[in-house]
Amino acid sequence: MKDLNPSGVFKGVHDIQVEERQSPGLDSNSIIIQVEKAGICGTDLHIYHEGLVPPGSVLGHEFCGGIIEIGNEVKGFKKGERVVVNPMINGTGLGLSPGGFARYVKIENPVKNSNIFTIPDSITSEKGALIEPFSVGLAGVNITKLEKEDSILVAGCGTIGLVTIAALKSKGYQQIIASDISEIRLELAKNLGAKFLFNPSKNGDLAEMIAKNFGEVDSLNYSGKLPKLNAVFECSGVGPVFRQMLDLLAPDGKMTVLAIYGKELEMDPNSIVYKRINLKGSLFYTSEDFLEAIELTQSGKVDLTPIISHQFPLEDLPKAFEIQADSSKSVKVIVASN
């Protein structure tokens, strides 16, 4: 591999530049992946807006590509295999090791179904780039103890909210409410499995909407009635929405938080105590979640490509970040590295 490695380099807040870097060298226990496509994630945007990683880092942890070189001590992989990466193990694209906003990525100590997962050729590069975020949504659903008849609200229909809706639908949950201020994102939510749509900027009172469709239940502290909302997936990252969800949940409700917040929140923990709320955070995933995401994608049971609003070549990565940062213009932005 003799050509250079164009890479999207984080220089500082609001400063991403594409540079020609030296192609990564192969070690005995590493592989080299030629990147096909990579997605810009909400975590990437937090880095873009706030820093959080050292300048000089190559971001991009949602990507797929093909193996082009294999170290002589690596077992279980073949040249030409297409793969997706679990970035949590090596810190790939998260400031610890270079990521997928590049033509080539080196992965140290590759282990099948741990930090590297093979995908069939029937999974397109666009779908492959969505496996990692889909795994996030699946993991959140898998750790939340839901009943089939539960009323479920997904707050925030960015990428993680949308993939969470798709995960819920794939598991047979029907009573799904999607809430967002974007009509475009709500329409995507509907197509992915949401039965009810709510736009807080124009649809009135959310509690009334839930009560109308699911009824009411008694509170546990003699304060009257509450809408029968059994579960919430908080994907908005907005403090007031977090607090509203706690207030709306019925007794013994479940709230799983998949969002990352830009600032600390003030909240009343009595909402959790009085209603016996089961509150969980979910950011990471297991190998089983990853394998399930691949299987659901391969089978066609879940198709997430409609959430891709824009695609850019790698050389236009700065523009791609600008578009992804404007939620009024984009949903999911994908970057093509070849």
Asked whether the predicted pLDDT for residue 1 surpasses 90, the reply is no
Residue 31 sits at the vertex; the CA angle it makes with 25 and 33, to the nearest 5 degrees, is 90
Which tens digit of pLDDT belongs to each residue from 65-75?
999 999 999 99
Question: What are 231's strand-pairing partners?
Answer: 152, 254
Q: Which homologous superfamily is 136-281 in?
A: NAD(P)-binding Rossmann-like Domain (3.40.50.720)
Q: In the predicted model, what is the mean pLDDT of residues 195-199?
A: 98
Q: SS3 sequence, 233-270?
A: EECCCCHHHHHHHHHHCCCCCEEEECCCCCCCCCCCCH
CB-CB neighbours of 199 under 10 Å = 16
Percent of the chain with pLDDT over 70: 99
Which tens digit of pLDDT belongs to each residue from 265-308?
888 888 899 899 999 999 889 999 999 999 999 999 999 999 99
Q: What is the pLDDT of residue 221?
A: 67
Band (263; pLDDT cuts 50, 70, 90): confident
CATH architecture of 5-130+304-336: Alpha-Beta Complex (3.90)
User: Is the sign of the CA dihedral 286, 43, 192, 243 positive or negative?
Assistant: positive
Average pLDDT, the chain: 95
Which tens digit of pLDDT belongs to each residue from 147-161?
999 999 999 999 999
Burial class (CB in 10 A: 0-12, 13-18, 19+), 48: buried
Q: What is the pLDDT of residue 338?
A: 73
Please check whether the two domains, 5-130+304-336 and 136-281, share a CATH topology: no
Which tens digit of pLDDT belongs to each residue from 77-124?
999 999 999 999 999 999 999 999 999 999 999 999 999 999 999 999
Which tens digit of pLDDT belongs to each residue from 33-60?
999 999 999 999 999 999 989 999 999 9
Domain ranges of the chain: 5-130+304-336, 136-281
CB-CB neighbours of 218 under 10 Å = 12
Q: What is the pLDDT of residue 222?
A: 60
Asked whether the predicted pLDDT for residue 220 surpasses 80, the reply is no
Q: Are 258 and 234 in contact (CB under 8 A)?
A: yes
